[in-house]
Amino acid sequence: MKKLLAQLPAVDSLLKREEMQVLIERFTHQEVKRAIKEGLDETRQAILSGQVTNFSLEDLLGQIKQAFDQLIEPTLKATINATGTVLHTNLGRAILADEAKEAVQMAASQYTNLEYDLKAGHRGTRYQHVQDLLKELTGAEDALIVNNNAAAVLLYMTALTKGKEVLISRGELVEIGGSFRIPDVIESCGAILREVGATNKVKVADYQRGINEETGAILRVHTSNYRVLGFTESPSDKDLVALAHENDLPIFNDLGSGLLIDLQPLGLSYEPTIKELIQADYDLVSFSGDKLLGGPQAGVIVGKKKYIDELKKFPLLRALRTDKVTLAGLEATLHLYRDPKKAMQRIPTLQMIAKTKEEVKHQAEKLGQALSKHIKGVEWELLEGSSQVGGGAYPIEKLPTCLLLLRIEGMSEDELEKALRLSEAHIITRVMDGAVCFDLRTVLKGQDQVIVETLLHIVEGKN
């Protein structure tokens, strides 16, 4: 033991080594010295306790370097989404089209005319950039952007219904997740919630009965993440809007998912588009930028100029305002929608939803063959299954897909799932039927190759 302890080098001699000099350039002399001392202390303790029976300088240097690597490693990392859930909220929802990525990079790295009117040569507004596009795409009189859809609802409820009663159907008292519950939101905006109808059945007459001198607005909330099925009834948009306007009340629609193109041709069920709701004459409609729209996180409000003007003047807007990077990404995404065909081809969210079972199967077969070719001890099979749109859109809709179930000799499915998740590529999969399950609907071009390499690495590491 004494002999081992005597082998431990002095701090100063370690500091002079090239590996440590590299670290000193990136960090500071003091930090590296402290790390060396700590490393030596740990090794000394390990020797004294008998855990370490031979000292390796290499190990010690490696240990110190690793500690610094961890320091500079970002915690927000790229992942590969092999779950098949297109708008996976935990994995950051929509990924951007190339056009939007370029716009984001431009806005992040250069000065922009964010709040500068280039023609007039003086101050402008940040909202001018997407306003006209949104008006064109939705048919609305005006538009406004905030941080996310939750912020949008918060803004218009606070600005327009504070101290008044808000009518909402019992069937629409939604919790969106992350404790965003419509009843709580309405209350926190200073409005008074007035529920109408029954959970499964609500009629125009129920709303009618709820109206009194205290009523400030009617709110409709899209039941994005669940459906009431069976014996159900709710008024049409047209009838409900008519009732609101006959009583001189504004009516708002929290649509959530934000569909600009009808997706029924893809075999999905009917969901109203923003344009239809504007045509139905809602005063304000709000939706997310990073759900079906396929853009960056944002909350979009479209509707009557009279109300949007009030929102623009409301002090809370300043706290909810979007940054230039988001606005750039959103503008570029919306631009693609001017040609719906282009939007379908260029926006990853729409592309992935549109992928057929046969296309996913083709990709899965190719991956399976590559795995068999390069890796020993793999066993895979294809299985019919379904992917989800996610992000609270199309809650009961299943997109027919083809799953690849993978097993590796000498490894449990849970071990394999964990190894993939913790690998450098951070591949997120599901476990199913004693196997690890890949749904390649959400795996991007070029990532199939990364999956093969990662699995090869995992299998080699195991032996």
Ligand X SMILES: *Cc1c(COP(=O)(O)O)cnc(C)c1O
Please report, as ranges, the residues that interact with ligand X according to CB under 6 A. 148-150, 176, 221-222, 224, 254, 256-257, 288, 299, 392
Whole-angstrom distance, CA of residue 301 vs CA of residue 254: 9
Q: What is the DSSP string of 114-171?
A: TTEETTTTEE--TTHHHHHHHHHHH--SEEEEESSHHHHHHHHHHHHHTTSEEEEEGG
Closest CB to ligand X among 216 and 295? 295
Residue 85 Cβ vs ligand X, minimum distance, rounded to whole Å: 15
Alpha-carbon distance values, 49 to 46, 54, 287, 448 (Å): 5, 13, 61, 47
Residue 104 Cβ vs ligand X, minimum distance, rounded to whole Å: 18
Residue type, position 79, single letter: T
Residue type, position 332, single letter: A
Burial class (CB in 10 A: 0-12, 13-18, 19+), 174: buried
Residue 288 Cβ vs ligand X, minimum distance, rounded to whole Å: 3
| DSSP 3-state of 331 | helix
Dihedral sign from CA coordinates of 7, 10, 13, 19: positive
Whole-angstrom distance, CA of residue 13 vs CA of residue 280: 78
Residue 227 Cβ vs ligand X, minimum distance, rounded to whole Å: 13
Residue 146 Cβ vs ligand X, minimum distance, rounded to whole Å: 9
Neighbours of 126 (CB within 10 A): 17
Residue 207 Cβ vs ligand X, minimum distance, rounded to whole Å: 19
Closest CB to ligand X among 150 and 367? 150
Closest residue to ligand X: CB criterion: 256
Whole-angstrom distance, CA of residue 458 vs CA of residue 413: 13
Closest CB to ligand X among 36 and 260? 260
| DSSP 3-state of 8 | coil
Residue 154 Cβ vs ligand X, minimum distance, rounded to whole Å: 9
Residue 257 Cβ vs ligand X, minimum distance, rounded to whole Å: 6
Is residue 254 a contact partner of residue 224, using CB atoms and an 8 Å limit?
A: no
Closest CB to ligand X among 150 and 353? 150
Alpha-carbon distance values, 463 to 160, 410, 416 (Å): 65, 10, 14
Closest CB to ligand X among 39 and 299? 299
Residue 297 Cβ vs ligand X, minimum distance, rounded to whole Å: 7
Neighbours of 175 (CB within 10 A): 13
